[in-house]
Structure 1
Amino acid sequence: MNDRIDKGDIVLINKSGKYHQQFGEVTVIDYNIFFVKILIVKLGNQEEAFEEKDLRLQAKKPSLQQVIVSIDKIIEQVDRIPYLPAKEKLELPNRLKYLKLDIPKLDKQLIQKNFDSIDKIFAAAREVDSSASFWQEIDSNLEKISWWIRTSL
Structure 2
Amino acid sequence: MKDRIDKGDIVLVNKSGKYHKQVGEVIEVDYNIFFVKIVIVKLGYQEEAFEEKDLKLKTKKPNIEEIIASIDKIIEQVDQIPNLPTREKVELPNRLKYLKLDIPKLDKQLIQKNFDSIDKIFTAAREADSSANFWQKIDPNLEKISWWIRTSL
TM-score, reference length from structure 1: 0.98
After TM superposition, the structure 1 = structure 2 runs for residues 53-92 of structure 1, keeping only pairs within 5 Å, are: 53-92=53-92
> Which SS does the other structure have where 1:38 is aligned?
strand
Percent of aligned pairs sharing the same letter: 82
> Which SS does the other structure have where 1:111 is aligned?
helix
Deviation at 1:45, TM superposition (A): 1.6
TM-score, reference length from structure 2: 0.98
1:119 matched to which residue of 2? Answer: 119
- The unaligned stretches of length 5 or more in structure 1 are none
Q: Which amino acid aligns with 1:122?
A: F
Q: How many residues align?
A: 153
**Distance (Å, rounded) in 2 between the aligned partners of 1:15 and 1:98:** 43
Q: Which amino acid aligns with 1:138?
A: I
1:107 matched to which residue of 2? Answer: 107
**Distance (Å, rounded) in 1 between the aligned partners of 2:99 and 2:45:** 29
**Distance (Å, rounded) in 2 between the aligned partners of 1:110 and 1:136:** 27
> Which SS does the other structure have where 2:5 is aligned?
coil
Stretches (4+) displaced over 6 A: none
**Distance (Å, rounded) in 1 between the aligned partners of 2:61 and 2:112:** 18
Deviation at 1:17, TM superposition (A): 1.0
**Distance (Å, rounded) in 2 between the aligned partners of 1:82 and 1:129:** 9
Deviation at 1:2, TM superposition (A): 2.0
Q: Deviations over 1:34-86 (max 9, x none)?
A: 11110000111211100001000000000000000000000000000011110
**Distance (Å, rounded) in 2 between the aligned partners of 1:40 and 1:82:** 44
- The unaligned stretches of length 5 or more in structure 2 are none
